[in-house]
Amino acid sequence: MLKLFIGNKNYSSWSMRPWVLMRQAEIPFEEVLVRFDAFDAGSQFKQTLSGLTPTGKVPLLIDGELAIWDTLAIAEYLAERFPELHLWPQDAAARARARSICAEMHAGFTALRSHCPQNIEASLPDVGALIWRDQPAVRADVARLVSMWEELLAQHGGPLLFGDFTIADAYFAPVGMRLKTYALPVPPAVAAYVDRVAALPGVAAWLAQARAEHDFRAFEEPYRLQR
């Protein structure tokens, strides 16, 4: 059986992507949770991953003797391993577009990711209001998301970015949760899309488990002294 190593569900946005993808697509896998304690070489986190992946990071997918340690590489591997599930759009042009926006997410939106770290169980509208006021790069990242999502939803008729669920929706699910946590302002159509993604069984399962962790990691939450 496939084995997926992940970090804390409340904090690990990169882990969320392949987990949601596999859960929503009903791909069986064994979950291995590697708790965030620290990220130095001597930490339990790094020791657990030592010998499994050269990066010492999660997520990590193990299939027999094969290790795949990049989120986008994991998604591509699953799409090839399970072609009947159509994890990418079936239309070639739509598939190229879906790959493009996932690569854009993979390499970009750094301001949003830096200033609004994932924290699913939290409600931080006051923090979000200050970020929105003071960080023009965050406003630019959100504007790009709004433009992208509105165009794709209109082009494909919804309810998801390419009509049916694809890797793209799994890839942007953590972004939607950031928008909700920090109450960043988006148009109604975008907010409705975020709500539809949050209601998907695979996403809803991750969110419920994240909220049940109760594992406060101070280094992941510089804006809060305690939970």
Per-residue pLDDT tens for 145-160?
Answer: 999 999 999 999 999 9
Residue 214 buriedness (CB in 10 A; 0-12 / 13-18 / 19+): exposed
Q: How far is CA 148 from the centre of its chain?
A: 17
* pLDDT of amino acid 101: 98
* pLDDT of amino acid 224: 63
Question: Same structural domain for residues 54 and 97?
Answer: no
Question: Same structural domain for residues 108 and 69?
Answer: no
| 218 within domain boundaries | no
Q: Which 8-state DSSP code applies to residue 164?
A: B
Domain boundary among 39, 61, 85: 85
> What is the token pair recorded at 59?
């997520």
Question: Same structural domain for residues 77 and 15?
Answer: yes
> What is the token pair recorded at 70?
């990049």
Inter-axis angle of helices 201-211 and 188-199, to 10 degrees?
Answer: 80
Question: Same structural domain for residues 153 and 115?
Answer: yes
Residue 165 buriedness (CB in 10 A; 0-12 / 13-18 / 19+): buried
Question: Same structural domain for residues 38 and 66?
Answer: yes
Q: pLDDT in tens for each of the 227 residues of the chain?
A: 999 999 999 999 999 999 999 999 999 999 999 998 877 778 888 888 888 888 889 999 999 999 999 999 999 999 999 999 999 999 999 999 999 999 999 999 999 999 999 999 999 999 999 999 999 999 999 999 999 999 999 999 999 999 999 999 999 999 999 999 999 999 999 999 999 999 999 999 999 999 999 877 766 676 665 55
Query: Domain containing 63: what range?
Result: 2-85
* pLDDT of amino acid 220: 61
Question: Same structural domain for residues 205 and 169?
Answer: yes
CB burial readout 168-191, b (16+ within 10 A) else e: bbbbbbbbbbbbbbbebebeeebe
Global pTM value = 0.94
Beta-strand relationship, 2-6 and 60-63: antiparallel
